[in-house]
Amino acid sequence: MTRWRGVLFDLDGTLADTVDLILQSFLYTMEEHLGEAPPAARFLETIGMPLPVQLREFARSETERTAMLETYVTYQRSVHDGMVRAFPGAVQVMRALRATGTPVGIVTSKGHRIGRRTLEVCALHEHVDFVVFGDEVERGKPDPEPVLRAMNALGLREEPEAVVFVGDSPHDLRAGKAAGTRTAAVSWGPLERSVLEAESPDFFLDRMEDVLSIRPPLAQS
């Protein structure tokens, strides 16, 4: 099993399959406010960052960004439950980690209202010890603040190298590294493997169950 002192996960694209929801909400918002949608690839580059920060890339003014945010959130809530599900093995892996006494945290850029709903719809909420939502921190990923907050809450700050942060975006990996954790990139998110490999993660996971087989460096010998 695992010898990690703690395992932290991103939510969207890592534990929860929400990419179609995110892209559909983005396309709807852009068409409503700009008349047409920029290439989806531009939005995917910002995945892992808080939504208000993402929308700054596309809004022509702060007023428009605020309006875009309201449109996006309202639309996302209207279609959310029918478009999200946990990735295969997510619940089982979280349950297995906690069965060994390994604390499990989630560090997401989602706001607490929609984030809690995602956790409930995906049946993940019963298997996590602590969640950091994007609207609970001043600086979201790739800043280390949300990762450090989770580590503080779980009593993991003394040995960050014995903690692994699992995510699907460069912003996840950079936040984990800046907080001193090991990092694991997942292959089932929306980004090309080469994009994640450029961040030099400690591990690359092709299946959710691989989380249970990776080890801290000192435990690999």
Are 90 and 156 members of one domain?
Answer: yes
Are 11 and 115 members of one domain?
Answer: yes
Domain count, the chain: 2
- Which of 10, 12, 17, 202 is catalytic? The answer is 10
Displacement of CA 33 from its chain's centroid (Å): 27
CB 141, CB 174: distance < 8 Å: yes
Are 142 and 45 members of one domain?
Answer: no
Choose the final residue of a domain: 39, 64, 82.
82
Q: Is 10 labeled as catalytic in the residue annotation?
A: yes
Omega of the bond leading into 38 within 30 degrees of 0 (cis): no
Are 49 and 141 members of one domain?
Answer: no
Alpha-carbon gap, residue 121 to 137, rounded angstroms: 24
- Structural domain boundaries, residue 26: 19-82
Are 122 and 105 members of one domain?
Answer: yes
0.95 cut: is pTM over it? no
Per-residue pLDDT of the chain (221 residues; tens, 9 = 90+): 458 999 999 999 999 999 999 999 999 999 999 999 998 888 888 888 889 999 999 999 999 999 999 999 999 999 999 999 999 999 999 999 999 999 999 999 999 999 999 999 999 999 999 999 999 999 999 999 999 999 999 999 999 999 999 999 999 999 999 999 999 999 999 899 999 999 999 999 999 999 999 999 865 44
Residue 1 domain flag: no
Are 89 and 73 members of one domain?
Answer: no
Residue 189 domain flag: yes
